[in-house]
Structure 1
Amino acid sequence: MELISTKLNQSMPQKRPKLWLSVLFWIALVAPAQAALELRVAIEENVGQVKVGSSTKAIVRDAAGQPLGEIAPMNAFQAQASGNGVALDRWRSSSVWIEPQNNGYVWIGDRWYRGRTRVVFVNNGLTAINYVDLEKYLYSVLGGEVYPNWPLEALKAQAVAARTYALYQRQTRGNSIYDLGDTIAWQVYKGVESEAPSLYSPVDSTAGQVLTYKGKIILAAFHSSSGGHTENVENVWSDNLPYLRGVPDFDGNTPEAQWVKTISREELSRRIDGVGNVLSMTPERTSPVGRIITMKIIGDRGARTISGPALRRALDLRSTWFTVTPDGEKSLPSSFRIQGRGYGHGLGLSQWGAYSMARQGANYQQIVRHYYQGTTLGKIKVVN
């Protein structure tokens, strides 16, 4: 195995380190990580300018990795698009690197981050990328996904799921500029501000561990709460993934398990185009557990069929597992009462379910194997 170099100018080429899986049985002991993997996370994309800086003295390098100068501690500059390159104070290059010394943090936009920064001109704008160690990236992700005071085994399960999810996205959606974004469309990543001391141990103690199916990293989807039963993937997305199968959940007494929302007829009619005043909402297709696949909407000016996910977005609902009851006159309801279960798409790991399993004594291996059927706990190796 070859370690990834920590020297900036030796990691400039766009070729990314390869991942190899040393697949272990889930009950086996996993050795400490032997190599570090640096993720490239896009923090700002296609902007005219972005503020960047460092908490400690930082070396500024050009696109070839050659030193241009230094940034003083707790200092920042506005990087701006200039021609087909980047202007940072007096420096110009097609891309600019900021490398903090002595384990300092970098400032990008409006937050502190671990690692280092690259600002590159692409698509007529600037993209600011945080180069950060995978495990340290997870310190922040866990803080954005779960509560720091949750049981340790639930936090470990989330660490494994989030690590697996990040590497799957890196393989399938990453490009020559970055591996991941920082929004909910990827995984929420807010840098140092979402870290907590209690999150370091669950990440460190599972370092390098990922979920695999037939030797390949899985799409380790997760959500807040299923409402009592997770879902088969084909009922939500078009993929048919054998490890994302519906299983009983353990989130029955948790905050997100059930919810109620009332929407007036006027508001509902504004949010659903093409039917006029909404008169009724009737499920056309549901999954075996009850999530809406398609819903028929009838109004006084027409009717249409809407998918469950589209309706969830239109009405800002927590999930697609819900029932609708009209209130008021039957011929022209004044409002609609929506009773729902769970929060999220219902695929893979249920975070509140993992919380309950951990409180009942389950370890993280048992938790992830419950929610990701037929998977194996593997370990990544990094080679150049």
Structure 2
Amino acid sequence: MRRWRSAAAVLALLAPAACAPRGARVPTVPVVVIRDTVATRPPPRDTVVITPTQPTNPPPAANATAVRVGLIVDTSAVEVTSTGDFTVHTEDGRELGRLRGGQTLAFRDAGSTVTMESRGGPAGSAMQPPAGVAGAGLRPPLIVRPAAAGGTLSVRGNAYRGELRIQQATGGGLTVVNRLDMETYLLGVVPREIGRFELDIYEAIKAQAVAARTYAVTYLGRRQQQGFDVYATTEDQVYGGAGAENETVNRAVRETAGEILTYGGQPITAYYHSTCAGQTAAIDEVWNNPPVPYLVSVRDVDPSGQAYDRVSSRFSWTERWTHEQMVNVLNRSLADSLRGRRITRIEDMRVLERTPSGRVRAMRITTDAGSFTVGKDRVRWFLVPIRNGSPTGILNSSKFDVSLTRGGGRVTEVVATGGGWGHGIGMCQVGAMGRARAGQDYRTILRTYYPGTEIRKAY
């Protein structure tokens, strides 16, 4: 049986001495990376989603703290299946039913209660709950568990270890939470975040495991009002469940079990990103946050002066817009500032000021509808790239320059030439890979990207 410590126990273990220095806390707010047009809040790291091979032997996770992952938030109905037998319980442990592998358990929001029914499976395998339970209104949360140790449960085609909690969402509807131990959670996070599994970058995978564990520990209890700790998306860390697991990652997680980064005895906020183009950014360069002693700009080059992340496909990039495309982009991204006006002509665009790491601190956009100054990481939401003829996503990074092509006295094209992918704060994932290939171990990698921190055992 796994033993799950509470979040309070983990934080108590890490309590610093009374006079120990402490890193500044970064406010946490949910962010949707793709859907937001104009960002007023800092986004999380950019990630690369992959499909790794399925491992056969996940590592044990005894003594690890529990983590609650918000898989689906505010839905009217959800279905749970499993290849093996599974059970459903009330929160106080009363068993409501047992289902055979291949059956489906369907939950539907009914206001303050939940309806539940089973269907499918072999003949004669229908759920047999206590009298009056099936189809009746049940008080959430309801808890679904695999009947056998090591079993998985599937929601919307993805398999998950641990248990699923069907609970009421804060604003109504149902929320599906995957509760499992921290180490097993990491098996589904690290593959989705690091994206590669070659042994020559093994120390970078270990560094990613420690950073991801630290991030999760820091977020325990932060979303208590919503009934979980972290989202399963880029709003926190991308979590793929059991289907994302990989043998190499399993070993890296096992070998760093319980290890987190601390500053002054406290878990740090371990931001990371894909590509820094040779230099990471301090947090106050990118977002409107106070300086943090371990989230500072780091020059990320080898002894020859070559950037460790130079192999990244986003190390350097170029985005182009026709005048018409940029007008459409700006009318959408500047809508709140335009207040009903429309841009029909771009007159000028230029970078006014840069941060010490070379990112845009302030940029002025001059149009026939007025002049607008944007900057820091929010600029990525204003200059939205064009994909298949439509504005999509956000700009790769805020480390870029802009140039205008003119014809007949008018702007005809806008070109952004830059480097990097992501906000640039904390660990550079592709840079960490380069450092691993150069022979650095994961402790050296982490100390480089988070200076002044220490690796300590949380459990």
Whether the 8 Å CA contact 2:82–2:154 is kept in 1: the answer is yes
In the superposition, relative to structure 1, how do residues 34 and 61 fare at CA in structure 2: closer, same or farther (>3 Å)? closer
Distance 2:73 2:312 in 1: 37
User: 1:256 is matched with which residue?
Assistant: 314
Question: Does residue 1:185 correspond to 2:235, yes or no?
Answer: yes
Distance 1:34 1:378 in 2: 18
Whether the 8 Å CA contact 1:54–1:75 is kept in 2: the answer is yes
Whether the 8 Å CA contact 1:54–1:74 is kept in 2: the answer is yes
Give the alignment's TM-score, normalised by structure 1: 0.89
Q: Which amino acid aligns with 2:214?
A: T
Distance 2:352 2:429 in 1: 29
Give the alignment's TM-score, normalised by structure 2: 0.75
Q: Which amino acid aligns with 1:115?
A: G
Could you tell me how far 1:124 is from its partner in structure 2? Answer: 1.9
Task: Give the stretch that moved more between structures: 148-157 or 308-317.
Answer: 308-317
Whether the 8 Å CA contact 2:400–2:419 is kept in 1: the answer is yes
In the superposition, relative to structure 1, how do residues 35 and 219 fare at CA in structure 2: closer, same or farther (>3 Å)? same
User: 1:101 is matched with which residue?
Assistant: 147
Structure 1: gaps of 5 or more residues: 25-31
Distance 2:97 2:139 in 1: 13
Question: Does residue 1:239 correspond to 2:286, yes or no?
Answer: no
User: 2:9 is matched with which residue?
Assistant: 18
Task: Give the stretch that moved more between structures: 167-176 or 246-255.
Answer: 167-176
In the superposition, relative to structure 1, how do residues 330 and 225 fare at CA in structure 2: closer, same or farther (>3 Å)? farther
Whether the 8 Å CA contact 1:280–1:299 is kept in 2: the answer is yes
**Which of 151, 158, 166 is matched with 1:119 structurally?**
166
Could you tell me how far 1:185 is from its partner in structure 2? Answer: 0.8
Distance 1:176 1:331 in 2: 55
Distance 1:97 1:154 in 2: 36
Distance 1:252 1:93 in 2: 54
Distance 2:191 2:74 in 1: 27
Could you tell me how far 1:341 is from its partner in structure 2? Answer: 0.7
**Which of 66, 77, 83 is matched with 2:105 structurally?**
77
Q: Which amino acid aligns with 2:87?
A: I
Could you tell me how far 1:308 is from its partner in structure 2? Answer: 3.5
Distance 2:296 2:221 in 1: 22
Whether the 8 Å CA contact 2:68–2:177 is kept in 1: the answer is yes
Q: Which amino acid aligns with 1:147?
A: G
Question: Does residue 1:162 correspond to 2:226, yes or no?
Answer: no
In the superposition, relative to structure 1, how do residues 69 and 301 fare at CA in structure 2: closer, same or farther (>3 Å)? closer
Whether the 8 Å CA contact 1:263–1:337 is kept in 2: the answer is yes
Could you tell me how far 1:23 is from its partner in structure 2? Answer: 9.3
Distance 1:247 1:141 in 2: 25
Distance 1:330 1:104 in 2: 68
Whether the 8 Å CA contact 1:174–1:180 is kept in 2: the answer is no
Could you tell me how far 1:195 is from its partner in structure 2? Answer: 1.8
Question: Does residue 1:307 correspond to 2:375, yes or no?
Answer: yes
Higher strand share: 1
Distance 1:75 1:137 in 2: 25
Whether the 8 Å CA contact 1:108–1:128 is kept in 2: the answer is no
Q: Which amino acid aligns with 2:151?
A: G
User: 2:67 is matched with which residue?
Assistant: 39
Structure 2: gaps of 5 or more residues: 17-59, 118-133, 301-307, 332-337, 385-393
**Which of 129, 137, 143 is matched with 2:177 structurally?**
129
Could you tell me how far 1:37 is from its partner in structure 2? Answer: 1.5
Deviations 1:339-364 (A, max 9, x none): 11100000000000000000000000
Task: Give the stretch that moved more between structures: 355-364 or 161-170.
Answer: 161-170
User: 1:29 is matched with which residue?
Assistant: none
Question: Does residue 1:268 correspond to 2:326, yes or no?
Answer: yes
**Which of 82, 91, 115 is matched with 1:63 structurally?**
91
Q: Which amino acid aligns with 1:344?
A: G
Whether the 8 Å CA contact 2:87–2:97 is kept in 1: the answer is yes
Aligned length: 365
Question: Does residue 1:220 correspond to 2:298, yes or no?
Answer: no
Q: Secondary structure at the match of 1:93?
A: coil
Q: Secondary structure at the match of 2:431?
A: helix
Whether the 8 Å CA contact 1:320–1:345 is kept in 2: the answer is yes
Could you tell me how far 1:22 is from its partner in structure 2? Answer: 5.7
Q: Which amino acid aligns with 1:101?
A: A
Deviations 1:207-241 (A, max 9, x none): 11000000000000000000110011111121321
User: 2:414 is matched with which residue?
Assistant: 336
